[in-house]
């Protein structure tokens, strides 16, 4: 797949002005990653895809390194995940699918009202519906919150809803520790929705 810069050059060569060439390049940036994921969810917003791509490009490579536990790479073992580039692409495809099933790709999503009574620490928030008490699953998660100045559940929910890159960063760290917290993963929806074509597209975009 051609990268946006090549598409931009092609559009200029085809006679479009600079603004038109840029707009067409952006419109053609995503194809497989815009495919519906199923269960009533249509295509993700381009802005959502832009944001998770920005996160992956700026995230520390160590976050994607192999570990010995059962994690999101174990869930999505059908996707190639040997090289760093492949592993980043798996991360993006996981977030694309989970974000759709959990919130319809809404960064400002509040708590899941169907979950019943919850304590403040159990209340979910953000595109991936994570909660403050999930940080108890690993010391690295707790350390990450402290490093980001988050000590209370209310602060966590607010930050998750207003800072999409932080939402991606925390959620993916959580997915490296455990996947049991996520309903769509447990029901097999994420594995079924994850696309090899989308994975290849993420690699090209990275």
Residue spans of beta strands (DSSP E) within the chain: 124-125, 130-131
Q: What is the mean pLDDT of the chain?
A: 90
Q: What is the DSSP secondary structure assignment for residue 38, as one 8-state letter?
A: B
Determine the pLDDT at residue 112: 75
Residue matched to tokens 């997915």: 175
Q: Residue 183: is its pLDDT beyond 70?
A: yes
Mean of pLDDT values over 66-83: 96
Lowest average pLDDT, out of 6-20, 37-51, 61-75, 124-138, goes to: 6-20
Q: What angle do CA 186, 188, 192 make, to 5 degrees?
A: 150
User: pLDDT tens, 83-97?
Assistant: 999 999 999 999 999
Q: How large a percentage of the chain has pLDDT more than 70?
A: 85
Determine the pLDDT at residue 12: 59
Mean of pLDDT values over 4-17: 61
Alpha carbons within 13 A on the beta-carbon side of 99: 30
Q: What is the DSSP secondary structure assignment for residue 40, as one 8-state letter?
A: T
Q: Residue 105: is its pLDDT beyond 80?
A: yes
Q: Residue 114: is its pLDDT beyond 90?
A: no
Q: Which of 199, 176, 185 is nearest to 81 (CA)?
A: 199
Rank 17-21, 26-30, 199-203 by mean pLDDT and report only the highest.
199-203
Q: Residue 21: is its pLDDT beyond 70?
A: no
User: How many whole angstroms separate alpha carbon 101 and alpha carbon 187?
Assistant: 11
Q: Residue 119: is its pLDDT beyond 80?
A: yes
Q: How large a percentage of the chain has pLDDT more than 90?
A: 80
Q: Can you read off the two tokens belonging to residue 121?
A: 């620490």
């Amino acid at each position: 797949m051609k990268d946006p810069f090549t598409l931009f050059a092609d559009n200029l060569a085809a006679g479009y002005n600079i603004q038109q060439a840029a707009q067409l390049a952006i419109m053609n940036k995503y194809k497989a990653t815009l495919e519906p994921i199923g269960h009533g969810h249509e295509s993700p917003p381009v802005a959502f895809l832009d944001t998770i791509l920005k996160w992956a490009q700026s995230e520390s490579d160590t976050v994607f390194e192999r570990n010995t536990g059962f994690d999101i790479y174990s869930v999505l073992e059908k996707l190639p995940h040997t090289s760093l580039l492949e592993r980043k692409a798996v991360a993006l495809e996981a977030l694309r699918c989970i974000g759709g099933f959990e919130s319809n790709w809404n960064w400002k999503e509040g708590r899941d009202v169907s979950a019943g009574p919850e304590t403040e620490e159990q209340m979910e928030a953000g595109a991936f519906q994570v909660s403050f008490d999930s940080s108890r699953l690993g010391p690295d998660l707790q350390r990450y919150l402290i490093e980001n100045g988050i000590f209370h559940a209310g602060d966590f929910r607010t930050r998750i809803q207003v800072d999409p890159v932080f939402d991606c960063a925390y959620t993916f760290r959580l997915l490296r520790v455990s996947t049991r917290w996520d309903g769509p993963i447990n029901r097999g929806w994420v594995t079924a929705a994850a696309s090899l074509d989308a994975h290849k597209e993420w690699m090209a975009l990275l």
